[in-house]
Structure 1
Amino acid sequence: MPAAERSQEVKNKGIVQAAFQAWAAGTGSPFDLLTPEARWTITGHATVSRTYESKQDFLDVVIGPFNVRLSRRLIPAVRAIYADDDMVIALFDAEAVARDGKPYRNTYTWFMRMREGRIVEVTAFFDTIEFTDLWTRLKPQ
């Protein structure tokens, strides 16, 4: 692999690592790296499983309504971050507490395509049964 490509992989991985560290600290998140036109695909058969055609659509339909179901925010614990060409892959666990006091725990893998230090496309895998339980048990307020 040419040095320039390897350098970009290292840079992209570092950008994503920093975003996850900010998320864990409560000072930011990987969502801050999304371009306005970023496409986010949630795999599986959850109510929210589909491709979102913009950052705002994804935040409005999934992230906002998810967060208001929580009494304690989602905190990630990264297991590993990998980079290959323009793709960064994050494997992480995340925990929160729902408004009804029950814990929410899930394991995620996000495949993030990067361009110029920003995320332009994501394919997200996670336990949609755990997610759907929270989503249907609590309604946004």
Structure 2
Amino acid sequence: MTALRTLALVAAFAGFSLASTSVARAQPGAAALAMTDNRAVIASAFDRWAAGGTDFFATVLSPDVVWTIEGSGPSAGTYRGLEEFTSRAIRPFATRMREPVRPVAVQIWAEGEHVIARWEGRGVAGDGQPYRNDYVWIFRMAGGRAVDVTAFLDLPAYDDVLRRVPAAQR
């Protein structure tokens, strides 16, 4: 079992429940409503992204989001604000892709202000090589936007694209 699958299972067993609309309706109170709304925001954004949308980060992230990529290597670290995250992590990678990364499988758990998304991403790098990666993103939501995100992924695969493929001029 991969570390990412283990992380997702640990999160599920640690009290994060797989939220569905029918489960959320059966739970009374504001916490259930927040869980449903937060889960719905993330699920809807992933659905749009998988269908070819390009607004995931702009619609999900707060302008002052704190995004942390866990691990070691050149891409690991904390990015403060949507602009810094976009300019230092998203654009450099996206300009090296021939076919953008799209989620091909997504699992979402939600509990209160937290949403966990475990997803598989696929794309094609600028040199024609396939890109495949598994991700776990943990969102802390406020006001329908992610204000804090912790990302787990196979950083060597991500960093390999950044190292191997020249950035396209866009």
TM-score normalised to the size of structure 2?
0.79
Quote the RMSD (CA, aligned, Å).
1.3
Query: 1:74 is aligned with what amino acid?
Result: V
CA distance in structure 2 between the aligned counterparts of 1:46 and 1:69, rounded to whole angstroms: 18
How far apart are residue 107 of structure 1 and its match?
0.2
Matched residue, 2:146: 119
Q: Between Structure 1 and Structure 2, which shows a larger proportion of strand residues?
A: 1
Please tell me whether the aligned partners of residues 20 and 29 of structure 1 are also in contact (alpha carbons under 8 angstroms).
no
* 1:1-141 superposed matches below 5 A: 3-32=29-58, 33-141=60-168
TM-score (norm 1): 0.95
Give the conservation status (yes or no) of the 8 Å contact 2:66–2:147: yes
* Moved segments of 4+, more than 4 Å: none
- CA distance in 2 between counterparts of 1:115 and 1:77 reads 27
Q: Mind listing any 5+ residue stretches in structure 1 that lack a counterpart?
A: none
Deviation by residue 1:46-80 (Cα, 9 ceiling, x = unmatched)? 21111001110000001001001000111102331
> Between Structure 1 and Structure 2, how many residues are aligned?
141
Residues 75 and 155 of structure 2 are in contact (CA less than 8 Å); yes or no, is this contact kept in structure 1? no
Give percent identity, aligned residues only. Answer: 36
Separation of aligned partners in 2, 1:21 and 1:29? 11
**Partner of 2:127: helix, strand, or coil?**
coil
